[in-house]
Copies of this chain bind each other. A is one copy, B any other.
């Protein structure tokens, strides 16, 4: 049964949960997922370099560049060239950008909480524990697979 195949359950659950949140930040605020992640990271800091953002958001440099262009056009962030290394960009929120994020964030978080609040404390603890373990396992396996490829190529 497809429905009982774990990879399918994981994909369907993640999609269903994500859809609820996208509804809020996309429909109500017009942010793409990349823009949302970008603002999320930037709102908590004075400023971040393009490298910081790529590393913390798991976006590649193309995604960062495009999200930055859109957010800059909307007047939500500022983009300047780094003085230390002029290949890099330094991003910071504008007051308008920070204000919009601070309006949107509680609504997104509340939507997530509305769902997670339906879980018992035990279920919720199990979810966080299990998910964390799975992410580590998936990353460890990626490393193992890469090692195997490298070994095979030798």
Complex Cα gap A11–B40 (Å)? 15
- Residues of chain B within 8 A of A120, CB atoms compared: 133
Q: Is the interface of A mostly helix, strand, loop or mixed?
A: helix
Across the interface, do B141 and A20 meet the contact criterion of CB distance under 8 Å? yes
A83 CB-CB contact with B under 8 Å: no
Instruction: Convert A114-145 into 0s and 1s, putting 1 for each residue whose CB lies closer than 8 angstroms to a CB of B.
Output: 11101110011111111111111111111001
A3 CB-CB contact with B under 8 Å: yes
Can you name 8 extra interface pairs (CB under 8 A) apart from A7-B17, A119-B130, A123-B129?
A7-B18, A7-B108, A10-B14, A12-B58, A17-B138, A126-B130, A127-B131, A127-B134
Residues of A at the B interface (CB closer than 8 Å) are: 1-3, 5-18, 20-21, 37, 40-41, 44, 56-58, 108, 112, 114-116, 118-120, 123-142, 145
